[in-house]
Amino acid sequence: MPLSLFLLVIGFCILNITLALIILNKDIETTRGMLYPRESETREVRALDGIWNFVRSDEANPTQGIRDGWFNDDLSKSMPTIPMPVPASYNDITTEQALRDHVGTVWYDRKFFVPRSWGQHQRVWLRFGSVHYEAFVWINGQSAIKHEMGHLPFETEVTHLLKYGAENRITVMCDNALIQTTVPQGKISEVANDQGVTIIQSYTFDFFNYAGIHRSVHLYTTPKTFIEEVEIKTNLSEDNSVGTVNYSIAVNGTAANEADNTLYARLQLYSREGILVANATSDSKLLGSLKVENVKPWWPYLMHPDPGYLYELEIKLYAAKEQLLDVYRLSVGLRTLSWNNTSFLINGKPVYFRGFGRHEDADVRGKGLDNALMTRDFNLLKWIGANAYRTSHYPYSEESMQFADQHGIMIIDECPSVDTENFNQVLLDKHKSSLEQLVHRDRNHPSVVMWSIANEPRTGQLNADTYFQFVANFTRSLDSTRPITAAIAVPSKDDKAGRHLDIISFNRYNAWYSNTGRLDMVTQRVINEATAWNYKYDKPVIMAEYGADTLEGLHLQPSYVWSEEFQAEVFSQHFKAFDALRRQKWFIGEFVWNFADFKTAQSYTRVGGNKKGVFTRARQPKAAAHLLRQRYFALGREMDKCNLPSDLFTYIADVGSNVQHDSSDL
């Protein structure tokens, strides 16, 4: 190569590296408050869920409602409204394609009464469980709060905006547009159609961009000076017999600003049976710890006969002279997490994850919180013997996190970064903010055992290294008690992010996206890829996604892609690989894609959505569910000596011990 060309190449490389370094690790705004709304002696909670009024804006004129001040009066005075349930995604509620595929802003409003009593000696807060993607909120025509980012809660004080003993109006504008600097990213373009031009939202992620007020809206009261934040960290003695609950409390209110140390907290910890097991009085910094003798640790499902054991922590905030200000209660599970380059341990015991990637998704309600569906899903998780799931590809409802705590289901808690590419400063700041909001919301859940900082980011790109170094280290600075992972799909040789993670997760679809239909090209490839990841980074490895689209009711023998037989056989070929890998201690988990069928954008590769579910969208098992159930319980039996359900194997024939299928086979 001539010298001038060589210098040019070197110059180009330096320029690229410099550009990569231009991403700065800036400080971001931190969340305050946001404790889950709970009633107590000092607090009242009221849900504003129900049927709201709804308007879809003109796509070509998304800011019309702001310019025309639709929030100043009832929406129905500005535009014809339709009824819209809250919580729910709005997309599938009507029969109109225009609403299903709408891009841009929509409006909601409703009226509500605030009791006269709320106007005295207390403060009132408005809290949204989540609105996707961006929300603007007015109370009685006055701006209350604005929040960007789906799947995460936000709240504001509305004491001064409310009319007490009178009717009030809440108005919400929600914008679902995703661009290159939103999390997740998308693209908006104008495309010619038969009527002229239309606006198209495109995105690379594989789930429908459901939007609207997805989770509950609450009004709640607090005293003037109140418990604003609680952070819990737990520990166990080496023999798991003595537990410690370290707490730190933050207070909001005038009394907190007085530098006279008059505030303190009394904490009481109750067992599940309601017996007081520990108590403490905080110092004036509202920090301290509780010691629990003969502790019952929090264990994952099937790892212990009494999984998901939770204590109740009662926190009472006092001012001088024993004046009780506020009471807040929360569930606490005591457990330890540790990890090294071969394993992940809970309470000192190595964990093998057997679970799912999931979605919050259902017919009609989309991503709207639905308690019936959530309860059914947890029953199915337990029926199938899973001990974990990843909240692919965004934070799930707070109610489901509480369920996971109670049932001992381990959560890999994922932020909304999916298919991230074109790394830039604005994106980095928002990505970090999504993790800050997530860690703040979920840090006290014993079920959360790992943070997932992204799904399938384009980690082969040049500045992925710097970008993920910042994201991973930032997450670690927020919580050093849990390991960090990301689900990666680039080949291990191209990846630049893994070195910043604690645990490597990879997604791969052998016999589906590669070598379609070839069941003989699965097992060795999975072994090779997992081994390559471990070899490159010397860290524990999880297969975070594998699977095959399966049309319920399609049966083909010999098995053929899309049939129920094929899904079962793809799983089985993976099981062989997982068992070979399990003998290498660093392989620590298998997650099927997906728990249930779910809706996606329209595509010729998707028949009514992604059909890789082990359960149908109506939450009924496909054939592979029964196979997976036998494996998950077999693993639980082998590793943790769990009991097997009596209906795990169906009676076949009394023809002697050679063909007997029961627990003695496992």
CA 522-526-528 angle, to 5 degrees, is: 120
Does the protein bind ligand GCB through residue 35 (CB under 6 A)?
no
- Give the one residue of 91, 171, 209, 610 binding ligand GCB; rule: CB under 6 A: 610
With respect to ligand GCB, which residue has the nearer C-beta, 601 or 639? 601
Pair 363, 609: CB distance under 8 Å: no
The DSSP code for 533 is H
| Residue placing its CB nearer to ligand GCB in the complex, 221 or 455 | 455
507 binds ligand GCB (CB under 6 A): yes
Output the smallest distance, CB 507 to ligand GCB, in A. 4
**Closest CB to ligand GCB among residues 48, 501:** 501
Q: Which one of residues 489, 497, 541, 543 is an interface residue with ligand GCB (CB under 6 A)? A: 489
Q: What Rg do the C-alpha atoms of the chain give, in angstroms?
A: 26
Restricting to residues 381-420, name those near ligand GCB by CB under 6 A.
Answer: 393
Q: How far is the CB of 556 from ligand GCB (least distance, A)?
A: 20
* DSSP string computed for 405-440: HHHT-EEEEE-S-BS--S--HHHHHHHHHHHHHHHH
Letters for 441-460 (x = contact with ligand GCB by CB under 6 A, - = none) are --------------xx----
Name the E strands within 320-368.
Answer: 323-332, 337-339, 344-346, 349-350, 353-357
Going by C-alpha positions, the residue among 150, 194, 144, 196 that lies closest to residue 176 is 150
Measure the CA–CA gap between 334 and 235, rounded to whole angstroms: 7
Shortest distance in whole angstroms from residue 624 CB to ligand GCB: 15
Smaller CB distance to ligand GCB: residue 56 or 508? Answer: 508
Provide the residue type at 663 as one letter: S
Decide whether 70 or 207 has the Cβ nearer to ligand GCB.
207
> Using CB under 6 A, which residues numbered 631 to 660 contact ligand GCB?
none
Which CB, 456 or 590, lies closer to ligand GCB? 456
Contact 613, 564 (CB under 8 A): no
Q: First CA to last CA across the chain, in angstroms? A: 64
Q: Which two tokens stand for residue 648?
A: 């795990």
In the complex, the smallest distance separating the C-beta of residue 509 from ligand GCB, rounded to whole angstroms, is 6
Residue 87 Cβ, how far from ligand GCB at the closest point, in Å? 23
Cβ-count burial of 17 within 10 angstroms (0-12 exposed, 13-18 middle, 19+ buried)?
A: middle
Residues 88-117 interacting with ligand GCB (rule: CB under 6 A): none
Q: Which of 102, 482, 612, 617 binds ligand GCB (CB under 6 A)?
A: 612
Q: In this chain, which of 134, 206, 465, 502 binds ligand GCB, going by CB under 6 A?
A: 206
Q: Binding to ligand GCB (CB under 6 A): which residues in 509-538?
A: none
The residue (of 436 and 590) whose beta carbon lies closer to ligand GCB is 590
593: contact with ligand GCB by CB under 6 A: yes
The nearest distance, CB 497 to ligand GCB, in angstroms, is 15
Query: 85, 184, 590: which is closest to 387 by C-alpha?
Result: 590
Structure tokens at 654: 């009394």
Burial class (CB in 10 A: 0-12, 13-18, 19+), 317: buried
Report the phi/psi class of residue 346: left, alpha or beta, with left for phi > 0 and alpha for psi in -120 to 50: beta
Q: Hey, which residues are catalytic here? A: 456
* Closest separation in Å from C-beta 547 to ligand GCB: 7
**Range 538-557, binding ligand GCB (CB under 6 A):** 545
Contacting positions for ligand GCB (CB under 6 A): 206, 393, 455-456, 489, 507, 545, 593, 610, 612
